[in-house]
Structure 1
């Protein structure tokens, strides 16, 4: 069974959302939304007569993808290149696929590192819960120097 698209229902190109509404909808800051737009990453953003950005559902789909790629560590220039390839059409599918496969590998490595960090924090949390309950002594922290070492050379 095919997974549902995270972009389902995001094909309407009618401008209807302000920067603030987009930020709230997607869980981003208004600064991030403006930054992506100023960087030329969001195709087809409209503006009102008063120069206010107005976003469509279609723009939201682009923003989700752009933000996802950025959060995996893909540099802005590479995101821009990816978007240009998308707009170019199907001839760029092999190169786009390669980029996505590479970023998936990067993200899997990040997940491994986060899992290791979470394991350490879980251990420390349990340790502190035991200490707070009055069980045991604090023996799992790196030793702290009791006094500063002398940095004055001996005469």
Structure 2
């Protein structure tokens, strides 16, 4: 699959895909005879994984470490699992914080709605 197709499929710019490959987030993508990137299904699974993890805010550095460990083979499974567990805990904490912020915003919106209703009651109606 060409980079343009992968870019469209995953809604990532071609520059982002090249960057991810350059910094090691995506293992080296094979190239065809003309030197053009030719993404395999496995490459696309990496793109999907990285996009998902970045989408929830996992740091690039952690993902580079994860990919590096993966490329070293099965002996790194425990270390990879620990990285994911650690990031999961951080994500849970972040979600709890976001839930509190969301509740506070809901309260604030509710107060605005109450204020608007009260002001509307004071308007002269024909």
TM bucket (normalised to shorter chain) is: 0.7 to 0.9
Question: Residues of 2 paired with 1:123 and 1:103: CA distance?
Answer: 30
Three-state SS of the structure 1 residue aligned to 2:35 is: coil
Three-state SS of the structure 1 residue aligned to 2:110 is: helix
CA RMSD of aligned residues (A): 2.4
1:114 aligns to 2:108 (yes or no): no
| Aligned positions, number | 119
Aligned-pair CA distance for 1:97: 0.9
Segments of 5+ residues of structure 1 without an aligned counterpart are 1-15, 138-155
TM-score of the superposed pair, with normalisation by structure 1: 0.63
Segments of 5+ residues of structure 2 without an aligned counterpart are 120-126
Three-state SS of the structure 2 residue aligned to 1:54 is: coil
Question: Residues of 2 paired with 1:101 and 1:64: CA distance?
Answer: 19
Judging by fraction of residues, say which structure has more helix: 2
**Structure 2 counterpart of 1:136:** 118
1:72-113 Cα shifts (integer Å, max 9, x gaps): 544433322211211222211111111010010011111112
TM-score of the superposed pair, with normalisation by structure 2: 0.75
**Structure 2 counterpart of 1:61:** 45
